[in-house]
Amino acid sequence: MFHSPLIDSVLIRLFRFRTRGFMKMEEADGAVPCPPREGGCYLYAHIPFCESLCPFCSFHRVQHCHTQATRYFTALRTEIRRYHAAGFTFDGVYFGGGTPTTEPDELVATIALVRALFGVREVSVETNPKDLQPPLLEKLRAAGVTRLSVGVQSFDDTLLREMERYEKYGGGEETAARLRAAVGLFPTLNVDLIFNQAHQTLASLERDLEIVLSLGVNQVSCYPLMTSPSVERRMAGAMGIPDGRRLRTYFQAIVRKLRPDFTASSAWCFTKNGQGSDEYIVASENYVGVGSGAFSYLDGTLYATTFSLAGYEERIARGLTGIVTKHRLGEGDSLRYTLLVRMFGLGLERAWAQRRHGRIFFWRLWGELRTLEWLGAAHRTTRGWQLTEDGMYWLMLMMSEFFESVNVYRDAMRAHVHGELEAANASVVAVAAP
């Protein structure tokens, strides 16, 4: 309805203002939190190791080192057992990173533990295109992985070179062939694409989508290029500066091109059978993050674990979790967080919101809900509110804004352990040098 960069920028400023309290974390004692009182719970395990570090990435990741990673996985399994002993149950587990497949045997042992302790049905694992090798795929399949998510980013070799991924993970054609061979091995095979890179043309994006359509994969997650203060300079140097004014055109091209084969399962994830999403934060009301640099959300409280790998091992050895900070969201913030996540997941059910939060939900969020309706971002149905196609675009903007605020927190936490992370990266580079 309202298609103007001015509206977008007003909306984002308003969103930033209304959610400014989300990430105000304070020190926490590290004890296992209480299991959630209501709603499902997902387990997120962060594996921060990568073969080498991409210039655009703000996730918590370090250069892979086998000895360090082995110790890390051992600590991770101890932490997972601690949540089990505290009475947690999980509907599914998501291994994200970093690159969880840098240590396949450790990963498989950890999946086996989670399945044995919690009987989870869904097991999601992130990987890179180079790791799509038959022996590894077979290991993951046998371990019970139900969703494999591959960080492709683009099939365009020029862009892959700028992203410093061409040499390490292979060119577009090679990746497409590997994906084709992996089709059918897992219930869900997801491809991650990043759109709105500075030198990405509309034609290049459309070609990426055509390739995705031709592969036979059944899910694609299209992220707008996000940034953070710590990567901005390196990213601009390697890839140029993206133009935010093209976001709507590019987003519309994605929706248009993927239809009708794929339908939206969140504002940036599209699935062939319409099932499942890329975001564990949408899959479940609560989630527990284990490992270094992971976040949890339990009954309205956000928690974050330490970004120090040595500190993580030390905390686990002392009988704690990795949690170092937390923030109990106030009533307004926790309702707004719920609205953001539910609308990002395409809609909000009135009866569910009433049951979970009571009538206060509709009173406190009256302005937000009316604004979404007035903008044409959501319309009312007999069951609640449903996101429109325009709404998907705005929720995509809001979620990337939220993730960028999480990135600012990540930057601050990583700055505390800058020396340790730099030393870890340098020592691996030194060992790898001839």
Ligand X SMILES: C[S@@+](CC[C@H](N)C(=O)[O-])C[C@H]1O[C@@H](n2cnc3c(N)ncnc32)[C@H](O)[C@@H]1O
Q: Which of ligand SF4, ligand X, none lies near 32, with the C-beta cut-off 5 to 8 A by kind? A: none
**Nearest partner of 49 among 98, 114, 109, judged by Cα:** 98
Task: Name the 3-class secondary structure at 395.
Answer: helix
62 binds ligand X (CB under 6 A): no
Continuous H helices in 345-417: 350-357, 360-364, 366-375, 389-416
Query: What residue 225 binds from ligand SF4, ligand X, none (CB within 5 to 8 A, per partner kind)?
Result: ligand X
Binding string, 9-48, against ligand SF4, x = CB under 6 A? Answer: ----------------------------------------
Cβ contact 191:217 at 8 Å: yes
Total residue count of the chain as it appears in this document: 434
Residue 76: its H or E element: helix 66-85
To ligand SF4, the closest distance from the beta carbon of 58 in angstroms equals 8
Q: Which of 33, 36, 92, 97 binds ligand X (CB under 6 A)?
A: 97
Using CB atoms, what's the residue nearest to ligand X? 151
Q: Give me the numbers of helices (H) and strands (E) for the chain, helices first please.
A: 18, 18
Considering only 42, 44, 223, 307, the residue that binds ligand X (CB under 6 A) is 223
**Residue closer to ligand SF4, measured from CB, 44 or 59:** 59
Question: Taking each helix axis from N to C terminus, what angle separates 247-258 and 5-18, rounded to the nearest 10 degrees?
Answer: 100
Q: Is 57 in the site for ligand X (CB under 6 A)?
A: yes
Contact status: 220 vs ligand X (CB under 6 A): no
Contact call for residues 273 and 384 (beta carbons, < 8 A): no
By CB under 6 A, residue 153 contacts ligand X: yes
Q: Would you give the distance in Å from CA 242 to the centre of its chain? A: 21
- Cβ closest to ligand X, residue 226 vs residue 281: 226
Residue closer to ligand SF4 (CB basis): 99 or 388: 99
Q: E strand or H helix at 177, and its extent?
A: helix 172-182
326 is an interface residue for ligand SF4 by CB under 6 A: no
Is 272:400 a contact under the CB 8 Å cutoff?
no
- Minimum CB distance to ligand X smaller for 18 or for 180: 180
- Binding to ligand X by CB under 6 A, coded x per residue (else -) over 180-199, reads ------------x-x-----
Strands lying side by side in the sheet with 378-380 = 347-349, 384-387, 378-380
Binding region for ligand X (CB under 6 A): 50, 56-59, 96-97, 99, 126, 128, 151, 153, 192, 194, 223, 225-227
